[in-house]
């Protein structure tokens, strides 16, 4: 069987019904969806408009869909873990260690790399070019490649359900446990190759967005006029560019250890396993802020819009953002105070970590003062934001506590630590992307989401989170370490049962979110966003139609202030008509759609799969295919499409008409209000 490398029939977990059936269920669902798409004849549409699209908005939407689907997968893992720990008091539970270890490793890997990352990057894709007042990102095709490589990584992780097994060493594979001697299976290889492939995609996203934000902005959009979300996106992408190569290099060293007998991290061969921990956290800590900073940007947009006020202390927020961006690179050692470094090293890194709390605290106070004196509307994005501030204040506090080395000596790797990072990842990042996705959904799809179900989802998530992770803090203080497949301490049991209840409350929240989408799609005609500005927004994304035309802006806006669209609106209300006369429409060049991204990712999956199973001829074939795709793309003759001036005019006139009508309607209402007051 050398033709197929290490791949044999034993790779299919026939003797383990749980992963087999769940994997098969996923395969069946995927095939059913594919069959439905084919039967309905949607394939050409999907191929033309989505799969080959290089439109940043479409790519952003696909990122968010990927994140949503992976959230379900990661959440099923969460239910399994909570259920295992609820059952396994003096009992083996329903998951043997070999399976339980895969579940927690997959949960962490999926939630960070294939839920939080794509969700954040997806929202940046949809929003940043619109906020900057430009037509697309700097490298549209590269953007498509980035997305499809991320999807390729996600596919590989899920493939391990059915063929072989996943990593059993945790979401960060520390050697020596992840070295060949202790993890001879393909689990670590699945992990590494999936992340290498998606990591390249993420790095290219970082390059793309840094270039876009630095080099492509509407005329007059100075740095100190950029919306806060663009600032946080810039900080986040700078961190990606600086940190992701570290991850790639670290995993490459681990792979060299595993594949060709290098000794970067094998202690017995003269390597040093501590180096892995340093390197992985040199990426890992900035990663936290890669996720959190854009979420802070979303809250800034939401709190300002729903308080009808500009963001308070805008420049102070920029300083805070960039301070976090820089300091986040200098604190990685706080992930292993218990490794035995001296007191000087520990306390310096501890204090550096605490310093991050200063700009973060400033942000919270600035949001508070943004609400102060405003007109606060409790729409769902605002509810998520307030829920975030309350939840994150606690999560931030426990984080600072963990930065005190002697406290960490008693909390490290306990459930207290796990509760802390769920508190910040769920409470800050996930709440943030939920706020952002409800906030920008009408922009992407042209209709708003159901508020009633949205509020149900918010309360269920908020309560569910605290019921699930409040007990984590308690059992952590009762000495419970993370990743226990079973235990014999009676005091932990009641809390783990409460946590189990919490995870099901969150499940209800997720069901409410799915229902929200279904109901909203069915009633979309009643909830059309005609004007393109459903929330009375302040930045340029709301000045376009919903959904925006492929070219975003018929004429690039001229930015004269920090809140260009709000000023435009204010003036229009003053003079009672649209501020700008109809412009001279000109044809617009837009990049042409291309299957490059999809085809590259297809070959990347083949290469990754072949590398995992040591099928060397297939590796060669996959790499050749990917290279050929690149060559074909590089030699293309025709890479742009012309949108004729008439088409531009037609789309823009429709938008102008809708806005003029809304303005007239508003004017009429104001006049009648004045009359009735008289």
Partner 1 sequence: MLLLAGCGRAQLQPAGPISDAERTILLDSVVIMLAIVVPTIFATLAVAWWYRSSNPRARRQPDFVYSGRVELIIWSIPALVIIFLGGIAWISSHDLDPAQPLPARTAPLDIQVVSLDWKWLFIYPKLGIASVNRLVVPAGVPLHLMLTSASVWNVFWIPQLGSMLYCMNGMADTLYLQADHPGVYRGESAMISGDGFADMHFNAEAVSQDQFDAWVASSRSSGPALDDAAYRDLLRQSVPAHPYTYSSVRAGLFADIVMLRLPPGEGPSGGVASVRPVGLQ
| 81 labelled catalytic | yes
Cα–Cα distance measured from residue 624 to residue 627, given in angstroms and rounded to the nearest whole number: 5
Could you tell me the smallest distance in angstroms from the CB atom of residue 630 to partner 1? 37
Shortest distance (Å) from residue 417 CB to partner 1: 9
Instruction: Report 312-341 residues binding partner 1 (CB under 8 A).
Output: 312-316, 336, 338-340
Piece of the chain touching partner 1 by CB under 8 A; list 65-73, 488-496, 539-547, 608-616: 488-496
Question: Does the annotation count 63 as an active-site position?
Answer: yes
421 given a catalytic annotation: yes
- Which is nearer to partner 1, 313 or 470 (by Cβ)? 313
Contacts by residues 82-86 (CB-CB < 8 Å, ≥ 24 positions apart): 82/468, 82/496, 82/499, 82/500, 82/502, 82/503, 83/500, 84/485, 85/484, 85/487, 85/496, 85/499, 85/500, 86/496, 86/497, 86/499, 86/500
Short-list 563, 119, 69, 562, CA closest to 298: 119
Whole-number minimum distance, CB 108 to partner 1, in Å?
11
Residues 280-309 that bind partner 1 (CB under 8 A): 307-309
- Over 475-529, what HEC string results? HHHCCCECCCCCECCCCHHHHHHHHHHHHHHHHHHHHHHHHHHHHHHHCCCCCEC
Which of 146, 370, 448, 655 is catalytic? The answer is 146
Element (H, E) at 667: helix 645-677
Active site residue 486: no
Chain positions 175 to 204 lying near partner 1, rule: CB under 8 A, are: 176-177, 181-182, 184-185
Site for partner 1 in 248-267 (CB under 8 A): 267
DSSP 372: T
CB-CB neighbours of 392 under 10 Å: 26
Least separation in angstroms between residue 382's CB and partner 1 is 8
Q: Is 593 a catalytic residue?
A: no
How far apart CA 254 and CA 176 sit, in angstroms, is 10
Query: Which sign does the torsion angle of CA 552, 553, 557, 563 carry?
Result: negative
Residues 6+ apart with CB under 8 A from 589: 640, 641, 642, 643
Shortest Cβ 416–partner 1 spacing (Å) = 9
570 is a site residue for partner 1 (CB under 8 A): no
Binding track, positions 401-430, relative to partner 1; x by CB under 8 A: x-xxxxx-xxxxxx----------------
Compute how many other C-beta atoms are within 10 angstroms of the C-beta atom of residue 472.
25
| Rounded Cα gap, residues 424 and 488, in angstroms | 29
Which of 220, 374, 595, 625 binds partner 1 (CB under 8 A)? It is 374
Given 109, 360, 414, 596, the catalytic residue: 360
Is residue 53 flagged as an active site residue?
no
DSSP, collapsed to helix, strand or coil, labels residue 93 as coil
Among 528, 521, 341, smallest CA distance to 442 is for 528
Whole-number Å distance between alpha carbons of 498 and 491: 12
Name the active-site residue from 53, 237, 300, 346.
Answer: 300
Distance from C-alpha of 47 to C-alpha of 40, rounded to nearest angstrom: 14
* Catalytic one of 276, 289, 296, 465: 289
375, 616, 617, 627: which one contacts partner 1 (CB under 8 A)? Answer: 375
Catalytic residue among 334, 363, 538, 659: 363
Three-state SS sequence of 240-309: HHHHHHHHHHHHHHHHHHHHHCCCCCCHHHCCCHHHHHHHHHHHHHHHHHHHHHHHHHHHHHHHHHHCCC
The active-site residue, picked from 52, 55, 63, 520, is: 63
Which of 89, 369, 421, 487 is the catalytic position? 421
CB of 297 vs partner 1, minimal distance in Å: 18
Check if the beta carbon of residue 273 is closer than 8 Å to that of residue 176. Answer: yes
CA distances from 273 to 131, 167, 373, 409, 579 (A): 45, 18, 55, 21, 64
R_g of the chain, CA atoms, integer Å: 26
Nearer to partner 1, 35 or 358 (CB): 358
Q: Is 322 a catalytic residue?
A: no
CA gap 21, 19 in Å, rounded: 6
Q: Which of 198, 212, 305, 391 is catalytic?
A: 212
Cβ of residue 150: shortest distance to partner 1, in angstroms? 27
Q: Interface residues for partner 1 in 615-644 (CB under 8 A)?
A: none
Q: Which C-beta is closer to partner 1: that of 225 or that of 524?
A: 225
Nearer to partner 1 by C-beta: 373 or 576? 373
Active site residue 639: no
| Closer Cβ to partner 1, 247 or 371, answer by number | 371
Q: Which of 150, 208, 370, 531 is catalytic?
A: 150
Asked if 289 is an active-site residue, the reply is yes
Q: From the list 141, 347, 577, 667, which residue makes contact with partner 1 (rule: CB under 8 A)?
A: 347
Active-site hit among 105, 144, 205, 353: 205
Contact indicator for 287, 223 with CB cutoff of 8 Å: no
Query: Is 54 in contact with 551 (CB distance < 8 Å)?
Result: no
Subset of residues 80 to 109 that bind partner 1, contact rule: CB under 8 A? 88, 90-92, 97-98, 101
Cα-Cα-Cα-Cα dihedral sign, residues 318, 320, 322, 324 = negative
Contacts of 85 (CB under 8 A, 6+ apart): 93, 484, 487, 496, 499, 500
Cβ proximity to partner 1: between 11 and 508 the closer is: 11
- Examine residue 168 and tell whether it contacts partner 1 (CB under 8 A): yes
User: Does residue 36 touch partner 1 according to CB under 8 A?
Assistant: no
Cβ-based nearer residue to partner 1, 148 or 392: 392
Query: Of the candidates 245, 361, 595, 625, which one interacts with partner 1 according to CB under 8 A?
Result: 361
Residue list 197-236, contact with partner 1 (CB under 8 A): none
Q: Write down the catalytic residue from 135, 420, 443, 569.
A: 420
> CB-wise, 341 or 555, nearer to partner 1?
341
Of these, 45, 365, 616, 627, which contacts partner 1 (CB under 8 A)? 365
Does residue 363 have an active-site annotation? yes
Active site residue 205: yes
287 catalytic per annotation: yes
Q: Which stretch binds partner 1 (CB under 8 A): 114-122, 426-434, 484-492, 589-597?
A: 484-492
373 counts as binding partner 1 under rule CB under 8 A: yes
Q: Does 275 bind partner 1 (CB under 8 A)?
A: no
Region of 548 (left: φ > 0; alpha: ψ -120 to 50; beta: rest) is beta
- Is 77 part of the annotated catalytic residue set? yes
Catalytic residues: 63, 73, 77, 81, 104, 125, 136, 143, 146, 150, 202, 205, 212, 285, 287, 289, 300, 316, 360, 363, 420-422
């Amino acid at each position: 069987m050398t033709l197929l490398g290490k791949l044999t029939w034993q790779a299919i977990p026939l003797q383990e019904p749980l992963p087999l059936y769940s994997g098969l269920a996923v395969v069946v669902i995927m095939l059913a969806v594919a069959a439905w798409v084919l039967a309905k004849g949607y394939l050409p549409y999907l191929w033309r408009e989505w799969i080959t699209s290089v439109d940043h908005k479409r790519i952003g939407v696909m990122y968010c869909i990927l994140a949503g689907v992976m959230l379900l997968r990661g959440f099923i893992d969460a239910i399994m873990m909570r259920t295992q720990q609820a059952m396994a008091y003096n009992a083996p539970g329903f998951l043997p260690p070999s399976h339980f270890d895969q579940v927690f490793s997959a949960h962490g890997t999926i939630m960070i790399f294939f839920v939080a990352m794509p969700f954040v990057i997806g929202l940046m894709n949809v929003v940043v070019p619109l906020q900057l007042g430009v037509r697309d990102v700097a490298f549209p095709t590269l953007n498509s490649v980035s997305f499809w490589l991320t999807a390729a990584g996600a596919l590989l992780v899920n493939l391990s359900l059915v063929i072989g097994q996943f990593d059993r060493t945790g979401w960060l594979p520390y050697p020596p446990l992840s070295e060949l001697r202790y993890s001879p299976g393909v689990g670590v290889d699945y992990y590494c190759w999936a992340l290498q492939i998606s990591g390249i995609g993420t790095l290219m996203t970082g390059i793309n967005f840094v270039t876009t934000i630095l080099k492509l902005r509407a005329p007059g959009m100075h740095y100190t006029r950029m919306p806060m979300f663009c600032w946080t996106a810039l900080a986040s992408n700078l961190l990606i560019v600086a940190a992701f190569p570290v991850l790639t290099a670290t995993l490459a060293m681990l792979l060299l250890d595993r594949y060709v007998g290098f000794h970067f991290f094998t202690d017995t061969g003269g390597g040093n396993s501590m180096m892995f921990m340093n390197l992985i956290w040199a990426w890992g800590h900035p990663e936290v802020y890669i996720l959190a900073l854009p979420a802070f940007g979303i809250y800034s947009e939401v709190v300002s819009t729903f308080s009808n006020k500009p963001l308070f202390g805008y420049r102070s927020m920029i300083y805070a953002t960039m301070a976090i961006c820089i300091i986040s690179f200098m604190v990685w050692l706080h992930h292993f105070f218990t490794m035995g470094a001296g007191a000087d090293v520990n306390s310096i890194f501890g204090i550096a970590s605490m310093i991050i709390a200063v700009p973060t605290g400033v942000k919270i106070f600035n949001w508070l003062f943004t609400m102060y004196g405003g007109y606060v509307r409790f729409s769902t994005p605002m509810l998520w934001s307030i829920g975030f501030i309350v939840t994150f204040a606690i999560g931030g506090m426990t984080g600072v506590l963990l930065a005190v080395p002697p406290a960490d000596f008693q909390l490290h790797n306990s459930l207290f630590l796990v509760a802390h990072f769920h508190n910040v990842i769920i409470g800050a990042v996930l709440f943030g992307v939920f706020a952002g996705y409800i906030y920008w959904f009408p922009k992407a799809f042209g209709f708003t989401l159901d508020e009633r179900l949205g509020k149900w989802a918010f309360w269920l998530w908020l309560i569910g989170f605290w019921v699930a992770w409040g007990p984590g803090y308690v059992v952590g203080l009762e000495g419970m370490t993370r990743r226990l497949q079973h235990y014999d301490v009676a005091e932990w049991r009641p809390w783990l049962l409460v946590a189990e209840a919490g995870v099901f409350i969150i499940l209800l929240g997720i069901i409410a979110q799915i229902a929200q989408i279904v109901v909203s799609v069915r009633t979309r005609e009643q909830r059309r966003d005609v004007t393109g500005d459903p929330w009375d927004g302040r930045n340029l994304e709301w000045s376009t139609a919903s959904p925006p035309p492929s070219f975003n802006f018929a004429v690039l806006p001229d930015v004269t202030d920090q809140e260009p669209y709000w000023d435009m609106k204010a003036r229009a209300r003053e003079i009672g008509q649209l501020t700008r006369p109809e412009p001279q429409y000109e044809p617009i060049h837009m990049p042409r759609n291309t299957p490059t991204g999809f085809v590259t990712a297809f070959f990347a999956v083949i290469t990754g799969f072949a590398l995992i199973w040591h099928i060397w001829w297939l590796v060669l074939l996959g790499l050749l295919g990917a290279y050929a795709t690149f060559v074909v793309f590089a030699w293309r003759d025709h890479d742009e499409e012309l949108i004729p001036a008439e088409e531009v005019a037609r789309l823009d006139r429709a938008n102008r008409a809708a806005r003029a009508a809304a303005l007239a309607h508003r004017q009429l209402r104001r006049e009648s209000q004045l009359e009735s007051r008289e």
